[in-house]
């Protein structure tokens, strides 16, 4: 486990983030690689639950407002937004 992943886990516990918020944080992390398609699919599935949808969108909004050294958060949120399966609805 990388230092950044460990730090992210500690923050998730300290801030009592929900499963949906944790998945968005993972997908929009500062790691140099993008989110996996399976993680994107999990986030898309969560958006069909009213409570989880609100949590996903809250974390997306928070990440969109990051700046400076956290520029990857903003970049990766835009990646999530442009993924048809994620925030635009998934057809079953």
Helix axes 3-14, 19-27, angle to 10 degrees: 150
pLDDT at residue number 67: 85
What's the residue count for the chain?
92
pLDDT at residue number 4: 82
Report the CATH number that the domain containing residue 26 is assigned in CATH: 1.25.40.90
Q: What is the pTM of this model?
A: 0.84
pLDDT at residue number 92: 47
64 belongs to a structural domain? yes
Q: Provide the token pair at 44.
A: 């898309």
49 belongs to a structural domain? yes
Which residues form the domain of 50? 3-82
| pLDDT digit string (tens) for the chain, length 92 residues | 788 889 999 999 999 999 999 999 999 999 889 899 899 989 989 989 999 999 999 999 999 999 888 999 998 988 877 766 566 555 54
How many distinct structural domains can be found in the chain?
A: 1
DSSP class of residue 34? Answer: P
């Amino acid at each position: 486990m990388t230092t950044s992943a460990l730090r992210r886990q500690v923050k998730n516990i300290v801030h009592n983030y929900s499963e949906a918020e944790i998945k968005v944080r993972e997908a929009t992390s500062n790691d140099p690689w993008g989110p996996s398609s399976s993680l994107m699919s999990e986030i898309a599935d969560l958006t069909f639950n009213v409570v989880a949808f609100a949590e996903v969108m809250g974390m997306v909004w928070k990440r969109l407002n990051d700046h400076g050294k956290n520029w990857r958060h903003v970049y990766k949120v835009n990646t999530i937004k442009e993924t048809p399966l994620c925030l635009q609805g998934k057809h079953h």
